[in-house]
Structure 1
Amino acid sequence: MSRDALVIGINSYTHLNRLNVAAEDAEAIAQQLERHGDFNVWRLPEVVINDQLRVGQKTPVTLTELEEALVKLFKPSGNHAPETALLFFSGHGLRKDRGIQEGFLACSDVNPSQGFYGLSLQWLRRLLQESPIRQQIVWLDCCYSGELLNYAEADPGNRGEGRSLFLMAASREFEPAFEDVSGQHSVLTAALLKGLDPRRQTDGVVTDSTLIEVVAQELHGTTQRPLWMKPSGEILLTGERQAMLTQNLSGVCPYRGLNYFDTGDADYFHGRKDLTDQLLDPLKIGKGNFLAVLGASGSGKSSVVRAGVIHQLQQNCLSGSKHWKICMMTPGERPLESLATAFLEADRTDLARARDLKQAEEAIAEGSTGFARFIRASQSPRILVFVDQFEEVFTLCQNATERQQFIACLLKALEQTGDKLCLVLAMRADFLGKCTEQDYSGLAAKIQSHLVTVKPMTRKELEEAIRKPAEQVGLNVEDTLVTQILKDLGLDEADSPAEARQWEPGSLPLLEYTLEQLWRYRTLDRLTLDRYIRLGGVQETLEKKADEVYQSFSLEEQHVAKRIFLELTQLGEGTEDTRRRVLKQDLSSVNQSAALVDRVIQKLADPAFRLVVTSELVEKGQRSGRFVIIDVAHEALIRHWKKLRQWVNESRIALRIKRTIEEDAREWEQKGKVADYLLQGLKLTEAEGFLENYADSLPLSNLSQALIAASRAERDRQRRQAEERQQRETDLLKKALKAAQIRTIAVSLSAAIVLIAGGFVGWQQQQLQLAFYDIWSGVNQDDSRPTNAFSQVFYDIWLKINPNAFRSTGALNKLLEAAQNFKRNADKHGNEPDIQRAIAYYRQVRAEASKRLNTDHSDDRLPHEKSDLETLFKNTEAPLAELIEKYRLKPLQQELDQAKGSGQFGELLRRTPADLERQYSPGPLRTTYKILMGDLGVKADLNSDGRIINAIEANQIPCKTLERLERLWQETTKNRCSWYDRHTHSFDGNIHSPFSCKELIGRTLTERIFPVPQDSVVDRLKACKLVPDDLSL
């Protein structure tokens, strides 16, 4: 349930004059309706600018797009039509006079000379007549728009059936409309913008009457004569009437929004009596000492234990339970510390609390034996420990040893204390599998045998939860409101009891948040359906409020808010994403000051919105060490706020890398920052890539940046040492060679070449031959090894003496044999060095054969030489494609599968071919590039200039590899992403087509992987039968 608006602004026309401000007019109206009118606004044409939807200034609009958008607005599918639908159109209007006068809204491709005028106003009038929308609003800022009023007045259609129609046209049916050459908007739009601003009205409300009054006043005396038709009843357009509170209304909100009901909120906690009784029964002395409460996120686990069970225990519902000691906790990152803190009592002095904390910590440090002794020593007849959000031992506690110790401490203490200790756990049901991954002192079995599942509330229970809290503070709840809420939750009155339990349990926090907002905007002494509709209903209230708060920030503050919510999201590992607490001090960075972060947090935590919550943490053993903790108000925000879901999915890979780096940094600090815990190899490369691509959007902590800096320094130091050592070895070798007679050296080298061609005998000779092949084939080697330094110098001198040493087919055949040997080893053992050599050797044979077939006077070669080269080239294609398939495409497929869920396919950051894979952000697109163009796979880019400039390079790519790459992308993207666009029949994608590859921003794989010129690539694709022969660039 909502108020919907469609704003259309068309600047671009093929056969008519381009307009200057139509799109700007539409965008200004859209923002006014969103800001002050509580409208859900769609834009046409719609583009994304700086992560925000805007009306496109250069994008054309077709007649089909125009018709589909209007049908969606006024005749929506489904059973949830909006209360109000508003259309604003700014663009060209046309008039056709062929015996019968007819008005049209012009789409971009109209061509009056060919009889195509656009969208008929007669068609629009019929659409309005058949629309089920109760309040219909149409504002047309175009020439001849008064035609629509003629049609509507002649046949009011369904206006007598409880429907209201508010029309406004920029000009009469025979008049043009005008743009104000001295202003930013057209004449009518400028007046509308003034009239829609509720701040100009004394009561803060704009209705149809006040808008007409302002527009008439603004256009008085101008050449333009707007027309309007008033609705049959008042329509509230922007602003809102202030709630009037009577004296007998309590100032306490009876609803908890995104917060759980705590023990102090029990008076307003309704609808869970049966479940509360069910949970109390196993807690009776003699019946057991363990209870596991499981349910979906948002099902009300925390509330029913706190405001239901624990409150009842405090009221002595069980014999002597009012004397029990109740300790409530959430595990957090350090569950053992949290357990000790749970035993502190608020009414004790600081000195006494410090003494109690020390005693609890010492007992828990001894494990279950010490903790059991601590429990038995208590004067309370029974101690109940409630561990809320138990899943945090898996999501927030990253120390596996502490996790084991915490669980063992609790469960083994239960065995040693009898009924003295009672343990209650509340956990999300989807984490039960985590409990079975290790033994955890029999946790999984204990949960299974003492489990109560929190099921969705019935219709009757939900009605109690809605009505009774309001009644306790003197508010009435309209019957129609309750009916609509239950209907929106999927519970119709006709549902059977069995069906009544099928609503989505995760909607409970959304319901509470909506009820809290209804209370804030209550009218007189009641909660009304009208306000509920304007809020957006159960499914939209939270999202609309979150969007509203986000949009109220400046651009700089929006960047901070986005980062805060990303940091507060714990990425799921086989489970849904969850909440994550962070220290406020960790949210500030070089680009985002502490004052800026604090300002944003204060707004997000404002009681009117309550999107995040703050709490204080005292550092152990310190009086002044206090830290502010930030947390999302409820995981419902993570699940149901589309903007946040989009952010998380776009940043999922980057967030995982960031948190891995930060975990490594914490370990480095804990180990005394010794060199053994610095980043090395791929980890350091990944960290450097993160800094290059995400340093601004996801800044690392100071500790993490220090780790990367120290790791770089250590790597550079080791490299300098290796280079110095290599240089010393090279100098010694050159001196030795210089000291000998050069002819003797030449003879020795020639003999070595003969030995290489005929096969070496002995381990050292084999290693030298292998080193030669590695250098020739470009295999990456560790240059710090003396053998490689020696081999490189030896290789260089050798080629100076024998420049044609590796140009014979005999040498290529030897390299091919070596490739085959390494492929067999790779297939048998899967060692990466064997895989690298096999791929590198095959592609080197392939490249050399192709070069000789296409250059060096290939026509003058003897037939058998040419045949040998062709055979060599052919014999490398299948094994190279097989290696790529087995060892490079499988990881790519995993990346694509992950990107399918996250939307993070990678993007071309800049078209600078010489930057190679650095042109791309992390993701499967960059991996695809590396497989085709880089050392990871085929390396078709033989000269490393980032381009495919001739057939020699293009033919490096096996057809099977091109085919499999395309198939992987097609399978992941439902056939949208290919080497060419099948709908435009070209290599150029259409960014506006619904069939285009949206994962690559509407582009084709050819466009994204290969920079121009692409002729050789196209020829290769055609030769491989992967694109039609008639396709051209």
Structure 2
Amino acid sequence: MSRNALIVGINPYHHLTSLKAPATDAEAIAQRLEQDGDFKVTRLPERIQPGDVNQPVMAETQTITQTQLEQALKQLFLPKSTQLPETALFYFSGHGIADEEGFYKGYLATSDTHPDRPRSGLSLRWLQWLLSESPIPQQIIWLDCCHSGSIIVDVGAANPGNSASRDRCFIASSRDFERSWEDLNSPYSTLTKALLDGLDPTKSPGRWVNTADLVAHVHQALTGELQTPVCTNFGEAINLTRSWQVPVERAEGAIATDICPYKGLEFFDCNDEDPKYFFGREQLVSQLLDHVRTRPFLALVGASGNGKSSVLRAGLLHQLKLGRRIAGSDQWRICLTRPDRQPMKNLALAFVEEGLSDLDRAEALGKAEGLLGEGSAGLQRLVQASSAPGVILVIDQFEEVFTRCQNPAEREQFFACLMGAVADTTDKLCVVIAMRADFVGKMPGAHEYSGLAQQVQTHMVSVLPLKPEELEAAICKPAEQVNLSVEPALVTEILNDIDGAPGSLPLLQYTLKALWQQRQGNTLQLATYQALGGISGTLDKRATKVYESFDPDQQRTVQHVFQQLTQLGEGTEDTRRRVFLDNLIAEPLHPADRVKTVIETLTDPDNRLLVTSEVVGKGQAAERRAIVDVAHEALIRHWRLLRQWIEQNRDLLRQQRRIEASAVTWQEREKAKGYLLQGLPLIEAMQFQKRRADTFPLSDAAKAFIQKSRQQRNWDRLKTASWLIIPALVLIPVVEHSLRQSRIEANLDRITEQEGTIAERRALQELVAGCAEQRSMNWLPTYITERLFGNCHPLWEAPLENANLSNADLSYADLITADLSGASLMNTDLSYVELSGANLSSVDLSDADLSDANLIAADLRYAFLSNTDLSDADLGAANLSEAIFFGLDLQAAQHLSVDQLQGENPPYLCNASLPTDIQIDKDRDCDQLPQVFVDRGWFNNLEEAKALVEELRQKTWD
């Protein structure tokens, strides 16, 4: 058997950021294939390691050109020899570049690749062509670089060529639009580490690790990672590595103290080792085998923590692979997959026909997608094309179709394919789904989703909690396999603790593993179990004890961190959530130093409640970022204090997540204005930012996102209603008054019909009348002002001229184009208020809060602003003629221009802080103000006016 491998790891780049991991990645893969896979390896670039034997190794500092890589690939897949190798494997670690046009499928960057000329890299389209031309029967491609999923972005690309006899394995580290990362908690990149672990033959001594095993391992190992691998196999599994030593049989009665027969918080998998220790589900596995033998559909349903994945993998699939319980099942093709975000794409990639030319392949792909959209006929044809006598399609974590797939049309198409095939099935196909029980009741009825709910109800097998005798077997029989004994009193105590506690299997396994770690000789003891706190207390007590060791400020940060690391279920159970470390910092409430201290304590080996790592983007910028995750998902379900925090704050956390997610989407879409917030979502985000700043602070990115959304809305409104900037003198006063009164009545009717009560209608009528009579608003009930102003009911038509609104809370009110001329707004909260085009002439705004207010094209002539907060207020095109700016900080005001401050009839400036790009004397008009006060009739004599100016100057200076 001849097996060749080309292993490429490129560190140095001329026009892209140089990398550190690729050469190390490549050398580790090369050594694994040479030592355990009987591969003849060619390294690129290569150098000779001096020593007794001249050993080639990866060259860390040498460069590789596009031409060199193409020639090496041709030599691998199109060898000029009559004696062809059986297997050809290509591994690449380095930079990857996306293809903006989509034709070339992306590029592998060589040392001479220029980012502005991506075609100077090696086209994945060219690599697909090369595979289609290659006569080698077994072809393997592993790509650890950004955007590498482009090579299998469609089915035709995944399996090129015109020979049905070829077997292929594709593993790409990320989807076509994603970056890949170097994990700085490991010497290897994220995908390569998973490959090396999956290729380790010592974990399965005496048998081959094949491409099917490796793909399954990579999927499991990278679940929840920052990048999503794209993997697929075609044809038969290809052998990769194995242990060449025959395992030594253990002598009778020997103590296997080095083998733990319990899985902790992991599931029992379908491999050569785990099923040896999987006990307690024999009756259920027999039931599943009988179901699969006679029926085309099986829904394995169970609560979270009842062991569905273990039953499916170490139970059902293990028995099918053995072929002892169902004759010939060892010859079946088992397709184990998860829906993820694109269930239809994953299904299509698994069932496309092989052996077509480029044109025929494109046509077949279109037909396949069309047939899958129709359901049974198309999928049945694809199943019949398989050379295996039977196909079992296994979809684990089926609930991801609801939780991760955001495309309703693709979801419906996916269900139509599966359910249609089940309805029209032959004996060749069996569909098995495994899903959480809490999603069964959420599925629509028979008409929607192609009858999925009806099929699940008809063919459902429940994974129920283990019976006492089954629990005893799960505890004792694995121990027997490694010659451990379990005290009978310990078994009795555990059974009593678990009785009536559904979903406790992960904690049982976790506790048993802890007992094994603290075993006395070859015995698991009751005293150790009691010291650990038993089943329910093992994690809970440990986590609470660590939490109580922090001071009060640190405890608040611990709560903040764990809340952010919890993925909130939508009517389902909560799960873990990986977060970048810098996204946990929220100044000033959770400063960087405190977050760092808390995380260091929580990740300490003595605590181990959190785990941290660091990833490095393999893109051009080579961005390094630290990530944080909970050590065990069981913490989220069983730490009572955390459950209390989540339940108390669930709604607020959801709102915070929605804002942050929208901000991330905006950034990912290159800050396109179409992804900014508008309407009610924007108003709610602004209110959340203001009111929850001390408890649920937003990230800097989310704050910038909200600010940009506000600015865009303001300018959109200004452009839409530009006629409002026309001087009011153009309008006919009688018509204006008539329109205003009719609109007031229309607003009152709308508020009453849509949201208000009769009492609120009367309150609003009183408010309008009270404003007109210059009465204060403090006589209104608080809930009325919050409803009318906090929820942004439009009041622009209300007659607010000369109204006394001092000390009122008008935050978030919609007062666009309102007439507030002559009104008193002293100490009024006008933050986030819409005042574009409003008439604020001669208004008293001293000590008012106008932060984040929209004052575009507002009329502020003769207004008095003393110690007024204008931070982030938008003053674009506002008329500031002869307004008085006394003691103002204008440095953070938006769109303030020099012309507004020094044109004809400019505002009076006294003790003002101006933007750095506006060079005007901040005390330009202090000496003129006493006379201005007298001219405006505010004082009878100049001496009193001077005294007030001096008093104000002293106040603002202080």
TM-score tier, shorter chain, comes to: 0.3 to 0.5
Could you tell me the TM-score, scaled by structure 1's length? Answer: 0.43
Could you tell me the TM-score, scaled by structure 2's length? Answer: 0.47
Task: Say which structure is richer in helix.
Answer: 1
